Structure 1
Amino acid sequence: MPEMRFHIAWPDGQEESCYSPSLVMREHLSEGTAYALPDFMSRVRTALTIASERVAAKYGHPCSLALGQLKRLEASALRFADDPAAKVTCLAFLYSHQDTPS
């Protein structure tokens, strides 16, 4: 399966490199776009769940890396839960050489 990383910036400017076992993240986030925290979390929750389900369909078990990534994002998001103006920016998508979209 094609894998990718997506780089984000939290509201405090801290950057994080995140993992997805599928390119589905491109359907839910756009590079350079800032999302309100609840919207961002909804999008990554959906995308990482789909990605994990794709792994399960192919290999017979959900993707523990995708589910672990989601747990880390949810834990980090809690730091900004009380800030209604909090935004998370999708900085970039990175692909392994063989998975680079044309």
Structure 2
Amino acid sequence: METALTKQDRIGARVSHDVYQTLCRAAELTGATVNQFLVQAALKEAQHVIEQQEVIRLSPRDWNWLLELTEAPPKANAKLAAALKRYKKARHNDADHAFDWQP
């Protein structure tokens, strides 16, 4: 059976001796190599940062409020109507410089 080859990239970092010793000790305590420990720790932090930036969390109260607004949106007031008009005008003016992209 053939196995798929996974492309791998290299990451390098220079750290002080004290930092290196701390990383070595932590890796040893978890039964990992320093490289394995660094990759796992960095990956965990990267996933956390991405989730914070891309996921919106709502309380049950706020979720219900959002659902109510979605199901029965309020009537547009004068400020919203003016903003929509400005938006449409700006999109029209940018049409010459944009591709045929539509949201």
Structure having the higher helix fraction is: 2
- Structure-2-length-normalised TM-score: 0.26
- Structure-1-length-normalised TM-score: 0.26
Structure having the higher strand fraction is: 1
Q: Which has the larger radius of gyration?
A: 2
